[in-house]
């Protein structure tokens, strides 16, 4: 048995060496040629296609709705906040979407995810793209947590909130030879300090969709977005606090972002849409996070040292080094204007939800609520 294991160990090391020394150098010119000359000619036309977007009431989901609208796609917008969705729907219509469906739902609940997909297909007759974008954040050290059970909500939203709609949408996406777009994070591969739960949920999400890509082959395309810090409610400081409540904590936000820039969500949307239409497997933006992913893979000790240097602190000591650098250099002034001038977040819609549970807390009449937005209405 030892000889058998040794044989396979040698075989895998040789195979890995061949990939690094032979396959990658030979394939790079081909990939560069395809990227420069072939992909621009084969970008997917989205006019008239049906796109369901979760977490569409703000941030990246909202911006992707506008990007799809500008391409002439019909939209089904899903989130817990009804009034915020209505505002996004109206703006999407102005940007060129021929038809927008608003579906208040909490995608961390399997039944509500199923109903959102069914309502979309019943209305439009098909589904071409699913954008799994719903998510929630947290920034605190693990030993600062005082209500550990509250953080199960993060896995419910970040992981199952993508998997549930994917499960119910998959038969329709197979029928249309459609596409899954997953809003993951660079945190799925670059595990920085103070985000243990968030990093774990994004790593789980990333590995799930990479596995699903291998299982589905060419039946359904999968594009995974792995952005760094981008203007959204997360970079406004909204997240699960150490005590388990969801609130805005700008101090924790500043300690987490530190020396890193925050990109404009409109720029991410443009880059993401280009990658989605081209069928890219991954879209990482801002681009500075690409080498960080490489460092995390090839030199994890360097990443560990950087995390200790930038985020390490002791109780009663000065703020983390990253935050001190931000304050000393005035880097916060480089935040996107919308983040500096409008730090408020969209509030929960009291007509729609009762606390954090959203759709499931409403009565049957509210649960059946469906708003159809059309041009001219």
Which region holds residue 200: left if phi is over 0, alpha if psi is between -120 and 50, else beta?
Answer: alpha
Q: How far apart are CA 180 and CA 214, in angstroms?
A: 13
Strand 74-79 relative to strand 282-283: parallel, antiparallel, unpaired?
Answer: unpaired
DSSP 263: B
Coil/strand/helix, residue 307: helix
Distance separating the N- and C-terminal Cα atoms of the chain? 73
Q: How far apart are CA 13 and CA 8, in angstroms?
A: 9
The Cβ of residue 84 has, within 10 Å, a number of other Cβ atoms equal to: 23
Q: Residue 106 contacts by C-beta under 8 Å, 6 or more apart in sequence?
A: 80, 112, 353, 357, 358, 359, 360
Q: How far apart are CA 95 and CA 278, in angstroms?
A: 22
Q: Where are the beta strands (DSSP E) in the chain?
A: 50-54, 74-79, 99-104, 129-132, 179-183, 221-225, 238-240, 246-248, 282-283, 371-374
Q: How far apart are CA 224 and CA 184, in angstroms?
A: 6
Structure tokens belonging to residue 290: 């690409």
φ, ψ at 335 (rounded to 5°):
-60, 150
The residue with tokens 């879209």 is 283
202-238 burial string, b = 16+ CB within 10 Å, else e?
Answer: bbbbbebbbebbeebeeebbbbbbbbbbbbbbbbbbb
- Could you confirm whether 198 is annotated as catalytic? yes
Q: List the catalytic residue out of 68, 198, 229, 311.
A: 198
Q: Residue 319 contacts by C-beta under 8 Å, 6 or more apart in sequence?
A: 255, 313, 327
DSSP 314: -
List the catalytic residues. Answer: 198
């Amino acid at each position: 048995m030892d000889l058998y294991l040794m044989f396979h160990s040698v075989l895998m090391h040789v195979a890995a060496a061949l990939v690094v020394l032979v396959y990658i150098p030979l394939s790079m010119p081909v990939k560069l040629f395809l990227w420069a000359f072939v992909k621009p000619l084969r970008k997917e036309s989205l006019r008239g296609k049906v796109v369901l977007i979760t977490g569409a009431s703000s941030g990246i989901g909202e911006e992707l709705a506008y990007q799809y609208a500008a391409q002439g796609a019909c939209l089904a917008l899903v989130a817990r906040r009804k009034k915020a969705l209505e505002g996004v729907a109206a703006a999407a219509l102005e940007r060129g979407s021929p038809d927008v469906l608003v579906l208040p739902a909490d995608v961390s609940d399997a039944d509500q995810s199923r109903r959102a997909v069914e309502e979309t297909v019943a209305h439009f007759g098909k589904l071409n793209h699913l954008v799994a974008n719903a998510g929630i954040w947290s920034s605190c050290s693990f030993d600062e947590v005082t209500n550990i059970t509250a953080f199960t909500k993060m896995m419910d939203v970040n992981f199952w909130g993508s998997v549930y709609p994917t499960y119910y949408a998959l038969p329709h996406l197979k029928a249309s030879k459609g596409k899954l777009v997953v809003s993951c994070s660079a945190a799925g591969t670059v595990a920085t300090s103070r985000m243990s739960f968030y990093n774990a949920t994004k790593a789980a999400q990333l590995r799930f969709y990479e596995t699903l890509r291998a299982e589905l082959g060419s039946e359904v395309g999968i594009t995974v977005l792995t952005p760094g810090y981008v203007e959204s409610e997360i970079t406004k400081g909204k997240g699960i606090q150490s005590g388990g409540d969801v609130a805005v904590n700008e101090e924790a936000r500043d300690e987490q972002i530190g020396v890193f820039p925050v990109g404009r969500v409109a720029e991410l949307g443009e880059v993401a849409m280009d990658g989605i239409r081209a069928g890219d497997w991954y879209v990482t933006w801002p681009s500075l996070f690409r080498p960080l992913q490489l460092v995390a893979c090839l030199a994890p000790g360097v990443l560990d040292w950087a995390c200790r240097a930038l985020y390490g602190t002791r109780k009663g000591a000065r703020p983390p080094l990253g935050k001190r650098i931000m304050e000393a250099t005035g880097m916060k002034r480089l935040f996107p204007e919308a983040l500096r001038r409008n730090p408020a977040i969209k509030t929960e819609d009291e007509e729609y939800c009762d606390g954090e549970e959203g759709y499931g807390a409403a009565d049957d009449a509210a649960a059946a609520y469906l708003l159809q937005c059309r041009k001219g209405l």
